[in-house]
Amino acid sequence: MDKLLRTASLLFSGLFAGFLLGVLVLESSLREYDAAVYTQVRQVELDSLDTLASVTLIPAIITTVVLAIRARGNNRRLVLMAAALLLVVFATTLAINLPINADQGDWSVQNPPADWASLRDRWQVAHLVRTVAAILAFASLITATLSRPTPVPRPTPEAINAGR
């Protein structure tokens, strides 16, 4: 069960972090374009990317939280850190990115609002925060997976007999 849970947590958090990184690269390249181009691309992004974010982030959070509850030792701290970082992503998304997404969906490509650049900047800064948090969460899960607790050495029969 734990192996399946760990695999699902890694899969969904990795897919989500990669997705956010791809959007970050796209958004960075959009900074060179005017309001009409930016608005048109954002509206295309909003068509399906919110769904992709939901179907990767929500399972990533759920599997990572359950894994944190079941984990022990140093691995538990790493998995708890990953869960906390994913919750930062979720909170940032709800507080900043989704409200701006809703506004941008109603923008006119021919006549974007006058403050479009400041809204773009605010969205992109929040997106950078959640991208870094998602990558750190994924890295934390990888580290937890690769690190094995140091086994406690069992005394050999000779050592037990020598101690008598």
pLDDT tens readout for residues 35-78: 999 999 999 999 999 999 999 999 999 999 999 999 888 789 99
User: Given this model, what pLDDT does residue 75 score?
Assistant: 87
Structural contact between residues 164 and 116, judged by C-beta atoms closer than 8 angstroms? no
Structural contact between residues 127 and 27, judged by C-beta atoms closer than 8 angstroms? yes
With b meaning 16 or more CB within 10 Å and e meaning fewer, what string describes 58-75?
A: ebbbbbbbbbbeebeeeb
**What is the percent of the chain with per-residue pLDDT over 70, rounded to a whole number?**
91
Per-residue pLDDT tens over the stretch 18-38 = 999 999 999 999 999 999 999
Structural contact between residues 13 and 86, judged by C-beta atoms closer than 8 angstroms? yes
User: Given this model, what pLDDT does residue 32 score?
Assistant: 95
Q: Is 103 left (phi over 0), alpha (psi -120 to 50) or beta?
A: alpha
Helix (H, G, I), strand (E, B) or coil at 156: coil
